[in-house]
Structure 1
């Protein structure tokens, strides 16, 4: 692939997925300065990766795979330098005294609360749920992450069930 073709693929990918990459970076990095660094690292890795892009998967799958691999590397590196402990989705404990999203004034605050829950998860679970929040189908999430479609669907189901159980208002669940 020529450098001009690589540049064009990169330009197209950033135009199409730039906003989603920024949101994904927020899911991996809460610190604003480190988040900007992560976004730049993802963009560099993406541009470099297009030298190897052969079209055997969709552009979307390629972009998400590169972005999430780079973000996962970022948090693993940060984990070595911090004492933050992550947990598996099945082991997350939601404090019952926190206000529910329904008690919040805007959906933005509810999403911030959901992202704070996702911040506590192990990188594989975090990756699956962030892709899900971007509207990526379970089959494509499976292709991006290398996790079976059944496992992806199970993790998404458990996450939704956990949120429903915690935040449902009386009478919402029959």
Structure 2
């Protein structure tokens, strides 16, 4: 593909997915400076990738796959910096003394709790949940991540169940 075609695809992709990619970067990187670097890295990787885009998959799938690969590479490169250990969604243990989101009056606190849980997950589980939160279907998440749609659905269900239990600790669901 020529550079003008690549530029058109990139412009279209950023118009459609730019805010979602920024949210994805937030899901992978808490540090604001490193997050901006990750966003820029995802954008550069996306622009470069359009030289090989042949339309065999949807633009959405292509964008998410490139972003997923770049974010995963970012996480692996910065693993030493991250003192917290990753865990599988099945092994997430929420501290009983952690404040309940219902104790907070702002929805930002509840979102901060959700993001802190997501931050503790292995990169593959994290990616599945971040894509789910963007409204991507299980089938497309599976195509992007290489996980079967049934496994994606199972992981999403487990996450919802865990959140329901956590929010129920505050006395309401």
Match of 2:143 in 1: 143
Greater Cα shift, 17-26 or 73-82: 73-82
Shift of 1:80: 3.7
1:17 matched to which residue of 2?
Answer: 17
The residue that corresponds to 1:131 in the other structure is 131
* Separation in 1, partners of 2:121, 2:172: 30
1:56 maps onto 2:61 in alignment? no
Higher alpha-carbon deviation: 104-113 or 14-23: 104-113
**Cα offset, 1:82, TM superposition:** 4.1
TM-score if structure 2 supplies the norm length?
Answer: 0.95
Residue 6 (structure 1) aligns with: 6
Structure 2 unaligned runs (5+)? none
Matching residue of 2:43: 43
Cα deviation code 1:74-105 (max 9, x no counterpart) = 00111144443111111111011112222222
Residue 158 of structure 1 is matched in structure 2 by 158
Count of aligned pairs? 172
Answering whether residue 67 of structure 2 is matched by residue 67 of structure 1, we say yes
**More off after superposition, 153-162 vs 72-81:** 72-81
Per mean C-alpha deviation after superposition, the further-off stretch among 21-30 and 162-171 is: 162-171
Q: Does 1:113 align with 2:113?
A: yes
- For 1:36 and 1:170, locate their aligned partners in 2 and report how far apart those are by CA, in whole Å: 38
- Unaligned 5+ residue runs, structure 1? none
**Structure 2 match to 1:89:** 89
- How far apart are 1:171 and its partner, in Å? 6.2
Structure-1-length-normalised TM-score: 0.95
Backbone CA RMSD of aligned residues: 1.2
